[in-house]
Amino acid sequence: MNILVCVKQVPDTTEIKIDPVKNTLIRDGVPSILNPFDGYALEAAARIKDKDPDAKIVAVTMGPPQAVAVLKECLAIAADKAYLVSGRTFGGSDTLATSYILSSAVKKIEETEGKFDAIFCGKQAIDGDTAQVGPEMAEHLGYPQVTYGLEAEVDGDGLKVIKEMEDGKAVMGVKFPCVVTFTKPAWDPRYPTIKRKMAANRAEIPTLDDTMFPEMDTTRIGLKGSPTHVKKTFVPQKKSGGVKIQEADNETGAKKLFELLSGASII
């Protein structure tokens, strides 16, 4: 079993503020973290490895050199190897270009690590919130995909994935090789142990730069290979939160609702 986990370094949006004049993110002094959904994808892979200690987990990220910090975090938590994909011509890529570069990186990494049975991604990154890169990678690679996964286990020559639906959960079977994107399950990712954390500090993380992909179509990468253009960013007006009525049974709920509505002179 060979799993690739795709991760991204993102600004910690719980600490982020928006410039009220320019409508852009103020990134100064905001800590960078592992995208939380990618953490769930890594944990899902780690749970497969718990049952099959021979399984191998490889982490990859595309980003500037300082993005190795999240790869070290992946190594500390559960990954066996990590690769950084970084190059000047990759800069400015939108989701389509990013997923194209990452799919090329998958092939490149497979030359060293062997074929991946499954590629796990977070459902989306908390900075761009597009939820496109995982599904687009599946399309570039021609693999089946399951999105919004909560947990996954090996089932014969594929995975059994429990996925989140709007009104419940669904169990899906998917054959290797496949792409699964993960959302927040009921648990948090495991803590790294001190031993793994220190080993991660010393780990060598190979960089795949833009010179290492001679077969890559350069019109499909970077800013000029990106069809997405941001027309305008703005801060949506804040809506005040509604009231949630959650009582032991429907009757008390209805009574509470009646009290609220009549109290506000609506009925």
Name the site residues for other proteins (rule: CB under 8 A): 76, 188, 191-195, 197-198, 201
Burial of 19 (0-12, 13-18, 19+ CB in 10 A): exposed
Is 191 or 258 the residue whose CB approaches other proteins more closely?
Answer: 191
Q: Following DSSP, what letter does each residue of 48-112 receive, concatenated?
A: HHHH-TT-EEEEEEES-GGGHHHHHHHHHHT-SEEEEE--GGGTT--HHHHHHHHHHHHHHHHHH
Q: Following DSSP, what letter does each residue of 204-260 receive, concatenated?
A: ---EE-GGG-TTS-GGGSTGGG---------PPPPPPP------SSHHHHHHHHHHH
Torsion angle (degrees, nearest 10) of CA 201, 205, 210, 215 = -160
In the block, which residue shows the tokens 């919004």?
148
How far is the C-alpha of 101 from the C-alpha of 114, rounded, in Å? Answer: 19
Is 70 or 133 the residue whose CB approaches other proteins more closely?
Answer: 70
Is 55 or 76 the residue whose CB approaches other proteins more closely?
Answer: 76
- The least distance separating other proteins from the CB of residue 182, rounded to whole angstroms, comes to 19
- The least distance separating other proteins from the CB of residue 162, rounded to whole angstroms, comes to 24
Is 197 or 220 the residue whose CB approaches other proteins more closely?
Answer: 197
- The least distance separating other proteins from the CB of residue 191, rounded to whole angstroms, comes to 6
- The least distance separating other proteins from the CB of residue 196, rounded to whole angstroms, comes to 9
Is 192 or 225 the residue whose CB approaches other proteins more closely?
Answer: 192
The H or E element spanning position 174 is: strand 168-175
Q: Parallel, antiparallel, or unpaired: how do β-strands 9-11 and 32-34 relate? A: antiparallel
- The least distance separating other proteins from the CB of residue 195, rounded to whole angstroms, comes to 6
- The least distance separating other proteins from the CB of residue 47, rounded to whole angstroms, comes to 16
- The least distance separating other proteins from the CB of residue 12, rounded to whole angstroms, comes to 13
Is 201 or 207 the residue whose CB approaches other proteins more closely?
Answer: 201
How far is the C-alpha of 135 from the C-alpha of 113, rounded, in Å? Answer: 23
Is 190 or 220 the residue whose CB approaches other proteins more closely?
Answer: 190
